[in-house]
Structures are given as structure tokens and as C-alpha cells.
Copies of this chain bind each other. A is one copy, B any other.
């Protein structure tokens, strides 16, 4: 992930996923790559930004809460979610409404 998502029109929604990996990452990379492809094809998906050091942060942007809810229920995504307790020691998901943005 090497660019910043830009020029979105407020209001829209952000999902902040903060995580700390466990030691067992078997199958994680493949699933992560698959989910990155798959999420990009979901209705209402606007883009995502991601970085990981001691903790991982992935912020995905969406047109609506309905689009976020549909993604959460998506069968392929649910298969991935089932493995979250194995790959993450700790995680937090925050659903946010973006009110304002600026930058250069």
C-alpha cells in the first residue's frame, strides 16, 4: 500500500482496523492478498490505506454504513474473519463517519 486516498467527498465512512499479530501467521499473507483484491470489488468501497510496525493500522473508506455492513456479512470475508483470533492477538474495529478532510 503506497499511496494516500484522496479527493473523497464528505460525508463518507472510515473503518479503522488496529491490530497486533499473534505468532501464528500461517496462511495470513495469502488471505490478506485475497481480501485486498476482493474488497476492491465491493459496492461502495472507496479505497484503503495501511501500514504496520509494532501495531498494524488499516483504514478502509466507504460510501455508506450499509456498504460496510454488507462487506462484514460477505461470505468470503466471513471465512477470513473466522481466522482472525488465530492471526491477531488483539484487534479493534472502529466505524467512523468522516466529517471533514483537508491536506496537500
Interface, chain A (partner B; CB < 8 A)? 1-6, 14, 16, 18-20, 49-57, 59, 65, 85, 88, 90-104
B2 touches A54 (CB 8 A): yes
Measured CB to CB, the closest approach of chain B to A4, in angstroms, equals: 5
Known: A16-B59, A102-B93. A51 touches B54 (CB 8 A): yes
Known: A4-B91, A54-B1, A55-B4. A49 touches B18 (CB 8 A): yes
Dominant secondary structure at the A interface? strand
Known: A18-B59, A59-B18, A59-B57. A99 touches B97 (CB 8 A): yes
Find the residue from A54, A92, A98 having the highest chain B CB count within 10 A.
Answer: A92
